Amino acid sequence: MSDVTDQWELAPPHTQREAAFVAVPDPASAASVGLDAPVRNLQMLELQVTGGATEIYLAHRPPAGRRASFDALPGKRDGDPTQVSNPRLLKAIITQAHAAGMKVHLCADAPAVGADDRNAFLTHVGQGVDAGADTVVVGALPTARWIADTHPGIPLVAGAHLGVTSVAYARHLREAYGVRRIVVPHASTLDEIAAFCAVDGLEVEVPVQTGSGANCHQCRLPDQRGTGLGCRAGYQNAPAPEGAVRDLGGFLDGASDCALCDVPSLVGLGVAALQIPGRESPIVRQNAKITQMYRRALNGVTKGWSTKQTIADIDRTELMWQMGWVPRMCEQQRCRFRDTARRRAHV
């Protein structure tokens, strides 16, 4: 296999800190790396199966009359739903996902749930477990304890809201709460991911293509009225009445997005899964296309290709590459694990 650092021509170099963790993977190991994709209805499930996902994550609506969500997102974002609409559909999605050989993660990862809502929350989680969910994603230590005590047989996933930024914290979650997988913060570097992958009995899931900064949603800036969970990466500013609108994403949230060129390194470090964002995605076909691009990257590793070969293959077969990906990601240097000005702007 060619040197894994044989990168696509527009990709900037790695930081000095991460360069030592650029790994040459065993091609066979790519087959065990999951693609965890979002689903909220049967159409999304079908598209994600076609796109090459091997795992899905979903959330369902909380009890009627409850204003807040029991997962990390509001019920709707920008007018589009984020949750499965009813228990019957939840069961149908999980059943069909299992029939396709997929693992199902139930999101119950609200960053806070009041003690008064404990019973309602556990009933809500119980519906998902009874429907067949394989794991429950948690976002707060109290809810992790509630679920561990009530459903001791269900593996827990530490979601991004738990902010697992140290190996000691990861070990504590494993030992005290039965956490079997962690979702690392978006700003985690290759060397940090390598340290998490070395923890025995713990899987590591890496979000890709998110653009959500140091820790997803932790800014608490709302993107819709009445909602405390937002993304500052979309904020704009016009300094004067006649001034041009400026995108403040790079200033307020220095996250980069694309990790395609570093899929070989993630495989080599031993990650369990790559997480695709988009439970609220308004264009579900485009969301599944992102999954497909990462599937192509993993398939390239399986074939023993260099990154350059994989990108050349994508360029030949995907209209989206030249029409959308290159101008939006590559030319803007939105590279997740590379030394870019946007990445240096992390706050």
- DSSP string for residues in 46-94: HHHHHHT-SEEEE-B---TT--S-SSSS-SEETTEE-SB-SHHHHHHHH
CA-closest candidate to residue 188, choices 293, 343, 20: 343
pLDDT at residue 65, rounded to an integer: 75
pLDDT at residue 128, rounded to an integer: 97
pLDDT at residue 4, rounded to an integer: 39
Q: What tokens appear for 101 in the block?
A: 């050989």
pLDDT at residue 8, rounded to an integer: 64
Global pTM value: 0.89
Q: What residue ranges of the chain have pLDDT lower than 50?
A: 1-5, 213-215, 222-230
Instruction: Give the DSSP H/E element, type plus range, for residue 223.
Output: none
141 C-beta neighbours (distance < 10 Å), count: 14
pLDDT at residue 314, rounded to an integer: 92
Phi, then psi, of 187 in degrees rounded to 5: -85, 5
pLDDT at residue 190, rounded to an integer: 94
pLDDT at residue 344, rounded to an integer: 77
pLDDT at residue 334, rounded to an integer: 86
